[in-house]
């Protein structure tokens, strides 16, 4: 029996932590990914890893403080914790630099959309929450998960010599 690809091992590690019920529902997708050990399966595993990171980020962002307001978002909607696609956050979230770079590419592209969950502000170089309620964010993530096509486009765009020398931030 062939060894499990490294991406699937890392996804399993993420899913073995205490996760919310809506994240656990995605475990079924991992079983399908595990059965396809081709390159296609590896890309699907990376997409699943990115989607799991976004769901966990959603839980973290909307975690309430003692006053009931989100503890990890300031009054201007700026995100106060390291993001999975950031220079510091990638390792904390269990992503490789190349995966974080792809995720950042995707999130920046999505940021320009009218219905974006998170937006990047060039002027302040900060990410802000565009959907103030967790249920709206979860609806967005449920209806708009990262797709294989998005990942492949991001991978192709971030695998240049220029991109590899560029810092993720």
Tens-digit pLDDT profile for residues 113-148:
999 999 999 999 999 999 999 999 999 999 999 999
pLDDT at position 28, please?
A: 56
Beta pairing partners, 126: 121
Averaged pLDDT of the chain: 82
Tens-digit pLDDT profile for residues 30-71:
555 555 455 566 888 899 999 999 999 999 999 999 998 999
Segments making up each domain of the chain, as ranges: 6-165
Position with higher pLDDT, 36 vs 88:
88
Please enumerate in sequence order all residues whose Cβ is within 8 A of that of 86, keeping only pairs 6 or more positions apart, or say none: 100, 104, 168, 169
Please enumerate in sequence order all residues whose Cβ is within 8 A of that of 99, keeping only pairs 6 or more positions apart, or say none: 46, 49, 50, 90
**What confidence tier does 12 reach under pLDDT thresholds 50, 70, 90?**
low
Q: Could you tell me the CA-to-CA distances from 72 to 33, 58, 82, 96, 135 in Å, in that order? A: 33, 10, 10, 24, 16
Asked whether the whole model's pTM tops 0.85, one would answer: no
DSSP at 120: E
pLDDT at position 168, please?
A: 46
- 29 pLDDT higher than 50: yes
- 167 pLDDT higher than 50: no
Q: Are 100 and 46 in contact (CB under 8 A)?
A: no
């Amino acid at each position: 029996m062939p060894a499990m690809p490294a991406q699937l091992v890392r996804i399993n590690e993420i899913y073995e932590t205490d996760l919310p019920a809506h994240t656990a529902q995605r475990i079924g997708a991992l079983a399908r990914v595990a059965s396809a050990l081709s390159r296609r399966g590896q890309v699907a595993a990376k997409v699943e890893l990115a989607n799991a990171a976004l769901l966990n980020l959603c839980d973290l962002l909307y975690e309430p403080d003692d006053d009931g307001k989100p503890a990890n978002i300031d009054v201007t909607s700026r995100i106060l914790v390291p993001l999975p696609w950031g220079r510091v956050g990638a390792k904390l979230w269990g992503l490789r630099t190349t995966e974080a770079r792809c995720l950042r590419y995707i999130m920046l592209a999505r940021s320009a959309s009218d219905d974006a969950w998170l937006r990047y502000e060039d002027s302040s170089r900060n990410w802000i929450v565009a959907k103030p309620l967790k249920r709206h964010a979860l609806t967005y993530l449920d209806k708009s998960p990262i797709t294989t096509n998005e990942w492949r486009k991001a991978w192709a765009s971030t695998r240049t010599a220029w991109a590899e020398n560029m810092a993720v931030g």
